[in-house]
Structures are given as structure tokens and as C-alpha cells.
Amino acid sequence: DVQLVASGGGLVQPGSDLRLSCTASGFRFIGSAFHWVRQTPGKGLEWLARIRSKANSYATAYAASVKGRFTISRDDSSQKTFLQMTGLEADDTGVYYCTRGYNGLDNNMFDFWGQGILVSVSS
Amino acid sequence: EVVLTQSPGILSLSPGDSATLSCRTSQSVEFNHLAWYRQRPGQAPRILIYGASYRATGIPDRFTGRGAGTDFTLTISRLEPEDFAVYYCQQYGLSPYIFGGGTRVEI
């Protein structure tokens, strides 16, 4: 079965850094693009970042709201994707999802999603 | 960047009714790369439609996506209890892969 299991969230102070991880299983990891999406009461669903497959040079893309602060990466050998977040602000508070390209392919619509992990930024 | 406007914000219906949801984009969506998702309380979104009109794997034919360019609709016929949820459209043609603000379908 396809699974995406996220970890690394929690309560942090403004200005802190946090690294989210997402471990995948049950499908061909190397062929898929991976994305991070967050959900907040104020902004709804917000796409944050994408990393493509090795065949597409691991190309990355970011939303303007996180560009320069967040970095997406992946480790195909351990079937993990990561979101390194720096300089966290209160507006970054929300539920963070890792998700894969549809059918485990290198695309930008999402079928399987992780369980959602809460990130709270507060002093 | 593209702006996706969903309407109505809330749709109040009964089981067995049909629902028509709208998603309008500020620019033409490249190759009709427009998807629809349903999100039930406490769950992650689930993809329903991609390519504006193609049902995702396992999605029943009660769900129909239509449209092109800047004007898209999702029609749900014979609403079932699990369909009372929030629906989002998303354009995935060009980064950033923006979501609409959502339509809540409630009883």
C-alpha cells in the first residue's frame, strides 16, 4: 500500500528553524515528484514547494511566500523527502502535508497525502 | 500568478441533490491542467478530477468535471453523505500550483 508518513513538526518560537521529513513506501519513489502543501485557517490550502525526479534533475520550485526561507530536498536511497524551514514566522503556523505526484509520476497534481503534521510558531 | 476564484462559498443541499461548483481562473490554464479535490473534516484532500475532466482512479461517475480556458465546473450528482465536504480546485500547469479558496457543500 502507498504510504507517506510525515514527522518533525511541533511548537517553535518565531525565528526558529524546523525540518520536516516524509517517508514513502509502497511505490516507485525515484520516479515521482514530491510536494509540500500546508493548510491554515486564514489561507486555506497553500502549495509550498516541489522537487522533481532525478530524471528531471531534481528541479525545485517554491511559492513566493516561502522562497528563500524553505528548502525542499529528497533522498532516493532512503525514500524520504524533506522540508527545511528557516526563519519561521507566526504566519507559517498550520498543518503541513507531504504529497506525491499523481500515480507516482513526475507531475503536479496530488493523489496520496501524508497524515498532516502540525507546525505552530509562537512565543 | 494565477488566481482561482471558487463559487459559491457555501452550498446547502440534501442527500440525493445535485451540486454544481464553479472555479474561475484569472488566466487561461495551460493544457487544462485543472484538478478538483474533496476534503472531509480531519482528512487530507483527495483528488477527484484532473485535466479538467478526467476522473481520478476510483472516483465514481457521479463526479463530472468540465470546462476549459478560465472557466471550470465540477458537478456532483446524487449527493451521498460522504460528499458533504469542502471542494478545492487547483491549477497545476505552471508554478505556483495555486488552490482556490474552496466551496463547502453542507446539508
What confidence tier does A35 reach under pLDDT thresholds 50, 70, 90?
A: very high
The neighbour count for residue B14, using CB atoms within 10 Å, is: 8
Q: How far is A44 from chain B (nearest CA, A)?
A: 6
CA-CA distance, A42 to A19, in Å (whole number)? Answer: 23
pLDDT score, position A37: 98
Chain B neighbors of A60, CB-CB under 8 A: none
| Three-state secondary structure call for residue A89 | coil
Asked whether residue A78 carries a pLDDT value surpassing 90, the answer given is yes
Chain A neighbors of B88, CB-CB under 8 A: 44-45
Q: Quick one: cell of A16?
A: 526558529
What are the tens digits of pLDDT across the range B3-32? 999 999 999 999 999 999 999 999 999 899
What confidence tier does A72 reach under pLDDT thresholds 50, 70, 90?
A: very high
**Is B96 in contact with A45 (Cβ distance < 8 A)?**
no
**Is A45 in contact with B56 (Cβ distance < 8 A)?**
no
Q: Quick one: cell of B31?
A: 493544457
Average pLDDT over residues A115-123: 95
Asked whether residue B1 carries a pLDDT value surpassing 90, the answer given is no
What are the tens digits of pLDDT across the range B29-56? 989 999 999 999 999 999 999 999 999 9
pLDDT score, position A64: 95
Asked whether residue A42 carries a pLDDT value surpassing 90, the answer given is no
* Residue where the block lists cell 468535471: B65
Average pLDDT over residues B77-82: 96
**Is B33 in contact with A108 (Cβ distance < 8 A)?**
yes
Asked whether residue B67 carries a pLDDT value surpassing 90, the answer given is yes
